[in-house]
Amino acid sequence: MGRVLTLDSLLALRREVREAGRALVFTNGVFDILHRGHCEYLAAARALGGTLVVGMNTDASVRRLKGEKKPIVPEGDRAFVLSQLACVDAVCLFDEDTPQRLIAALLPDVLVKGGDYTLETIVGREEVEAAGGRVLTIPLTPERSSTNILQTIVDRFCP
């Protein structure tokens, strides 16, 4: 089984994790132009439990949310790179605008998002808390973002 999983394979992984008595941590995002901030965030998320699953927006989802010029990196490449990080146990793509359906099916023990979210704005919070799980935020790494990287490229290389 590869580390980029379908929902069915992800649910099988969920059962294995539960049977082993480990916690499953879930986070999600676009992860376009993977950078240090992403890596620090994912490592911190993994430290909250034994297994980290990352939900990743498909290209179509990203375009609906961020416009036709995004993503920069295609979904297959983004998923592959994420799945190769030591702190990431599995990646699952979702095509909807939010991971609501994926979170409701998975019901992770810990749902985590970056510090730019409040607990009240985290999609899936109600389902996870109702199932006895925790919902947390992790501080972002200052001045490390895809937007900053793109701006640096424009500033340095575009007249």
The 10s digit of each residue's pLDDT in 95-148 is 999 999 999 999 999 999 999 999 999 999 999 999 999 999 999 887 777 777
The 10s digit of each residue's pLDDT in 56-70 is 999 999 999 999 999
The 10s digit of each residue's pLDDT in 46-57 is 999 889 999 999
The reported pLDDT for the residue numbered 1 is 37
The reported pLDDT for the residue numbered 153 is 84
Q: Which of 47, 140, 55 is nearest to 87 (CA)?
A: 47
Q: Which of 61, 48, 52 is nearest to 3 (CA)?
A: 52
Which residue ranges form the domains of the chain, and what is each CATH number? 7-157 (3.40.50.620)
The reported pLDDT for the residue numbered 144 is 75
